[in-house]
Amino acid sequence: MDKKIAKKVLSKALATGADLAELYVQDKISRVVQLNYRRVDNVSTTLTYGAGLRLMLGVQQVYGYTSDLSEESLMALADKLAAYFDGKRLLDCGEFKEIKNPETHKPQKEASSLSVADKIAYLKKGEDAIYAESPLIVNATCALVDNDEKVEIFTVTADGARLVRDRRVHIRVVAQAVAAKDGAFEVGFSGPGLSKGAEYLEEVDFVEKAKRAAKTAVALLDAPECPSGVMPVVIGNQFGGVLFHEACGHPLEGTAISHNTSPFAGKLGQKIASDLVTAIDDGTHAHGWGSECFDDEGVASTKNVLIENGVLKNYMVDTFDGRRLGMKPTGACRRESYKYLPTTRMTNTYIAAGKSTPEEIIEATEFGLYCVSFNGGSVDPTTDKFNFTSSETYIIKNGKIDHLVKSPTLTGFGYEILPKIDMVANDCELAAGMCGAASGSVCAAVGQPTLRVSEMTVGGKGETL
């Protein structure tokens, strides 16, 4: 975006008294190669290209977006948004001060250097591994998605005019296996990804991930139903972190806190979890799936300790919600694209490692569930009532992993679960996920070590305990 045009647009937008004006310009290319149904099923490219203009005055904001980036179109949008306020100009748009980008997540090898043929050959190995696992496999989906996004964020506040440029690259490989027997279907899935380039494909063992997905799908076919009731639940590392993401992460976002629609509102400094829980949202994590050098309102990403040894230390805060809260932004204001008004979102959110080993946790559990991985879940931030579905689940008996069961749903209230985390292992790892909320679907990593919740409500179709 030409700085002169940005200056004219923001200047016009500020004419009626807004105290902040921001122009977000996005240029993103997404490439997908997918094998499905034993063939190359999808080779496609999508351009996401447009601008969002945001004005704030106190705790009101107006937003507009367009995919027409001509000066005429942007000036018309500025005019339309400025008309919402009727005051006198408070700010002028001076020269933009460009903030230096540390380029922490720069790829070593551009994903664009990979040909479609290279990608197909890479995925084919995963596809072959899935079908080779069992004749019960009825479909394998293997996909490679890479995004290359460039954003420019021009912002004018009482502190002056600034410009932030950020490039975000993401690469993700997905393996999904569907197994069928006697009319029943089961699914196994793996989808690792990072903010990296083509080099990631050499770092991840895709064939192993694909095999694992196939094994899970096949094994689930003969697995008995999961019992239901209240029981201890050991939750695995990596995508097991969806527990914290759902039960605690969302209710700690500024939007819920600033509107007092979260059970954690007004509880800074209070004990909300067991002593074993330290939780962090870290947008700075090098090459993390949810990392970015600057967030989508141009604030530098931070490593934000949310809970420390069970005590609530901070929230995730963006500029707008920070106005209600009297807090500074933490660099976690995000949006899927220019079509979304940005708001506080998680980046890479995880529970820090503890001192136990995963084996010690299993051994210490006489009877319970071991949820290795999850399909995902959701939460009502107002009540903190959450649910998530386990995708690979075992019964623990007498301190040993006993047998696989079909997927149950775990439910509860986040504020009740956090104090019940009674063992935390030392194997913290993160995993890639897509988080959908008010500002669209964003890349968000979840993570944790293996941990145990002393009791949770488990909904399965088996016997009631």
Partner 1 sequence: MDMNKLYKAAAAAGIAPFETRIRKENKITIELFNDVVENYTVAENGSIKVRGLVDGKGGVFSSDRVDDEVIDIAVAAVKDSAEYGQPVDPEFFLGGKDLHYEEVKTFDSKLAEVPATEFIALGKKIAKSSLALDKRIESVNIQVEYDFEETELKNSNGLNVGQKTNYVMIYGSAKAVSGELVESGSYYEILSELGGFDADGFAKKLVADAVDQLGGSSVKSGKYKVVYSPDCVAALLTALKDGFSAFNVEQHISLLEGKIGEQVFSPLFSLEQTPIGNDPFCSAFDSEGVPCKNAMLIDKGVPTGYVYDLDTAKRAGVKSTGNGVLQGGNVRPAVGYTRVVPGDKTLEQLFEQVGDGLYITGLGGIGTGLNPQSGAYSLQASGYLIEKGKRARPVSLITVAGNIMTDFKDVIAVGNDEKKTYYATKTPSVAIKDLSVSGL
**Residues 240-259 close enough to bind partner 1 by CB under 8 A:** 259
CB of 324 to partner 1, least distance (A): 9
Q: Which one of residues 108, 270, 378, 441 is an interface residue with partner 1 (CB under 8 A)?
A: 378
CB of 66 to partner 1, least distance (A): 5
Q: 284 or 407: whose CB is closer to partner 1?
A: 407
Q: Which one of residues 270, 309, 382, 441 is an interface residue with partner 1 (CB under 8 A)?
A: 382
Q: Which amino acid is at 109?
A: K
* Position 228 contacts partner 1 (CB under 8 A): yes
Site residue total, partner 1 (CB under 8 A) = 75
* Position 347 contacts partner 1 (CB under 8 A): no
Starting at the edge strand found earlier in the chain, the sheet holding 303-308 runs: 311-312, 303-308, 279-282, 348-351, 440-448, 429-437
CB of 125 to partner 1, least distance (A): 17
Residue pair 171/146 in contact (Cβ under 8 Å)? The answer is yes
* Residue with tokens 């903030």, as numbered in its chain: 99
Interface with partner 1 in residues 18-77 (CB under 8 A): 32-34, 37, 39-50, 59-69, 73, 77
Closest CA to 25 of 57, 62, 68: 68
How many angstroms separate the most distant Cα atoms in the chain?
A: 73
Closest CA to 12 of 82, 109, 114, 90: 82
Q: Which one of residues 71, 80, 97, 397 is an interface residue with partner 1 (CB under 8 A)?
A: 80
Q: 89 or 461: whose CB is closer to partner 1?
A: 461
Helices (H), 286-388: 319-325, 358-363
CB of 314 to partner 1, least distance (A): 23
DSSP 300: B
Binding mask 357-376 for partner 1 (x = CB under 8 A): -----------------xxx
DSSP 14: G
State the Cα–Cα distance between residues 370 and 372, nearest whole angstrom.
6
Interface with partner 1 in residues 412-451 (CB under 8 A): 412
State the Cα–Cα distance between residues 372 and 390, nearest whole angstrom.
8
Q: Which one of residues 106, 162, 313, 339 is an interface residue with partner 1 (CB under 8 A)?
A: 339
Binding mask 184-223 for partner 1 (x = CB under 8 A): xxxx------------------------------------
CB-neighbour burial class of residue 229 (10 A; exposed 0-12, middle 13-18, buried 19+): middle
* Residue with tokens 């440029």, as numbered in its chain: 165
CB of 84 to partner 1, least distance (A): 6
CB of 392 to partner 1, least distance (A): 13
CB of 50 to partner 1, least distance (A): 5
* Position 182 contacts partner 1 (CB under 8 A): no
Grouping H, G, I as helix, E, B as strand and the rest as coil, residue 142 is strand
Q: Which one of residues 104, 409, 426, 454 is an interface residue with partner 1 (CB under 8 A)?
A: 409
State the Cα–Cα distance between residues 1 and 23, nearest whole angstrom.
10
Residue pair 359/452 in contact (Cβ under 8 Å)? The answer is no
CB of 279 to partner 1, least distance (A): 22
Q: Which one of residues 17, 224, 229, 419 is an interface residue with partner 1 (CB under 8 A)?
A: 229
Q: N- to C-terminal Cα distance for the chain?
A: 62
**Token pair for 258:** 């600033």
Q: 77 or 361: whose CB is closer to partner 1?
A: 77
Binding mask 134-173 for partner 1 (x = CB under 8 A): ----xx----------------------------------
Q: 108 or 260: whose CB is closer to partner 1?
A: 260
CB of 93 to partner 1, least distance (A): 21
Residue pair 440/433 in contact (Cβ under 8 Å)? The answer is no
**Token pair for 75:** 């000036």
Q: Which amino acid is at 174?
A: V
CB of 99 to partner 1, least distance (A): 26
